[in-house]
């Protein structure tokens, strides 16, 4: 069964260059393992109309949509009310979350800003947050998580068992130095034509230490086809004079 | 003058988790320096209709659009013909690029696959590639670059002097440990209201080594306003019992 996912990173810090993303690779890898491969990623700013329109578009096009960022207590944390708007439901105090946060912060420190984190779109299910308590949430096929990587990962692992999984994706990789894509392209295309349901990828590398070459990857949900394509890739690399090594080039 | 940019990363390797992105932060930072701040990023697969539709949408919405990936010689390198399709122009041999690549590879190694890299959308201007010769290109407000970070950076620096720049973005940051967003949110919102044209950001950190706290950033094109907002942020952090340190938390 094929299932698909999209990811929306919400906030200005990636767009401004302040922060290097540390969430995409984790989520891409975990979603592949769960058989819900990631098909599109968007990085958008904290602008209400942009968030509402992006969520509305992607939740119609993909089986599952994940968001990170914008669910803290500050004025620029507007993800949660925007999701409510995208679903056309009120954004309101969620009493069990209110009680949880009041107990965590203490009544005297549970100020108006922090009380915003106790508001969810009506009908949402909280995603537990083992790190800093304030939850994410799921509503329909949209899953809203924190942007801080430690917290996002804890939320994702709490969420994962509730997701409907697809067939896992298998992958085999060979790399070689001293051979380049241009010499392999025709042979690789012939292998792709033999295995049309697989994704065959060609990834040149050119490292600062001078190592140059290419990694060829066969990927798909049919494990037997992946194995056969990987064997054909190995033979192609040998035939062209390469020294194929299984896996990715080490750092 | 306000100018805006969008970035499209084309290819399956980020989406599958195979590759950690190493281009976004570089481009976000350099575009901020040039006064063409990045407003949206998309990561999309090597699918013709997706590439054509994404380029068509974003080039209408932003002043400049940058793409990375999909311009090599292999079957999955389809960015260049897709850009031609988005602009409604033929994708054809560009004679100076053909001559350049033939001289580089030698006539006997300049096979059909490599000759694809000599084809550009009609009317495109090549972007020189000091690393591996095969150029990127600009057409209209769309700038097409390689995905390999070393090559992308060389192309971007060749392209940068040709871009119409906007007013540069200034930024000041204070961070503190032992204070959290929830205690600062109201004060920060008051500062935002005093400086509505600035972006004030609040970025909690929670490191694996146990350091927890928050960084507050003031950013905008009016340097004097940025300085004043940064002073107000410093005073807010002191008032709330923090120990403000200028700049980001070190790694």
The ipTM assigned to this model is 0.93
Contact assignment for B28 to A14 by CB distance below 8 Å: yes
The total of other beta-carbon atoms located within 10 Å of residue B211's CB is 13
Q: How many CB pairs under 8 A join A and B?
A: 197
Distance CA(B18)–CA(B42), nearest Å, equals 17
- Name every chain A residue with its beta carbon within 8 A of the beta carbon of B200: 75-76
Nearest CA-CA distance, residue A41 and chain B, Å: 5
The answer to whether A69 touches A146, Cβ cutoff 8 Å, is yes
Q: Give me the residue from B25, B185, B192 closest to A113, CB to CB.
A: B185
Distance CA B110, CA A147 (A): 47
Distance of alpha carbon A28 from alpha carbon B108, whole angstroms: 41
Contacts of B158 (CB under 8 A, 6+ apart): B127, B128, B129, B130
Question: pLDDT tens track of chain A, all 251 residues?
Answer: 679 999 999 999 999 999 999 999 999 999 999 999 999 999 999 999 999 999 999 999 999 999 999 999 998 899 999 999 999 999 999 999 999 999 999 999 999 999 999 999 999 999 999 998 999 999 999 999 999 999 999 999 999 999 999 988 899 999 999 898 889 999 999 999 999 999 999 998 888 888 999 999 999 989 999 999 999 999 999 999 999 999 998 88
Residues of chain A with C-beta less than 8 angstroms from the C-beta of B32 = 16-17
Give one word for A35, left, alpha or beta, with left for phi > 0 and alpha for psi -120 to 50.
left
The maximal CA–CA distance of chain B, rounded, in angstroms, is 73
Instruction: Delineate the domains of chain B, giving CATH numbers in brackets.
Output: 5-162 (3.40.980.10), 170-246 (3.30.70.600)
- What is the model's pTM? 0.94
Most A-contacting residue of B73, B236, B247 (CB-CB within 10 A), to test interface: B73
Long-range contacts of A26-31, Cβ-Cβ distance < 8 Å, separation of 24 or more: A26/A149, A26/A152, A26/A153, A26/A156, A26/B17, A27/A66, A27/A68, A27/A152, A27/A156, A27/B17, A28/B14, A28/B15, A28/B16, A28/B17, A29/B17, A30/A156, A30/A160, A30/B17, A31/A5, A31/A66, A31/B17
Residue of A nearest to B45 (CA): A39
3-state SS, B67-118, equals EECCCCCCCCCCHHHHHHHHHCCCEEECHHHHHHHHHHHCHHHCCHHHHHHH
Q: Do B202 and A109 touch (CB under 8 A)?
A: no
Asked if residues A213 and A176 have their Cβ atoms less than 8 Å apart, the reply is: yes
- Name the closest residue on chain A to residue B42, using Cα atoms: A42
Mean pLDDT, to the nearest integer, of B118-135? 96
Residue B2 confidence (pLDDT) above 80:
no
Alpha carbons B61 and A132: distance in angstroms, whole number: 38
B133: pLDDT strictly greater than 90: yes
Distances (CA, A) of B114 to A185, A205, B12, B132: 8, 17, 21, 12
- C-alpha distances in Å from residue A17, one per residue of A98, A217, B23, B71: 35, 30, 10, 25
End-to-end CA distance of chain B: 35
Contact B76 A217 (CB under 8 A): no
């Amino acid at each position: 069964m094929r299932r698909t996912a999209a990811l929306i990173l919400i906030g200005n810090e990636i767009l401004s260059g302040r922060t290097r993303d540390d969430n995409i690779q984790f989520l891409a890898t975990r979603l592949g393992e769960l058989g819900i491969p990631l098909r599109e990623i968007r990085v958008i700013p904290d602008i209400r109309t942009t968030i509402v329109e992006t969520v509305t578009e992607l939740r119609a096009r993909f089986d599952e949509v994940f968001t990170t960022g914008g669910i803290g207590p500050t004025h620029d944390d507007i993800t949660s009310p925007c999701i409510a708007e995208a679903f056309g439901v009120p954004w309101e105090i969620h009493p069990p979350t209110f009680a949880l946060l009041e107990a965590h912060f203490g009544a005297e420190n549970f100020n108006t800003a922090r009380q915003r984190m106790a508001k969810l779109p009506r009908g949402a299910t909280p995603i537990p947050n083992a790190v800093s308590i304030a939850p994410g949430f799921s509503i329909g096929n949209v899953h809203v998580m924190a942007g801080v990587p430690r917290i996002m990962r804890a939320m994702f692992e709490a969420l994962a068992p509730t997701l409907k999984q697809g067939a896992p994706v298998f992958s085999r990789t060979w790399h070689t130095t001293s051979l380049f894509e241009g010499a392999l392209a025709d042979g690789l295309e012939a292998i792709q034509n033999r295995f049309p349901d697989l994704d065959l990828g060609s990834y040149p590398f050119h490292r600062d230490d001078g190592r140059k070459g290419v990694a060829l990857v066969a990927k798909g949900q049919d494990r037997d086809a992946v194995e056969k394509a990987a064997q054909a890739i190995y033979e192609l690399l040998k035939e062209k004079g390469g020294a194929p090594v299984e896996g990715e080039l080490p750092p």
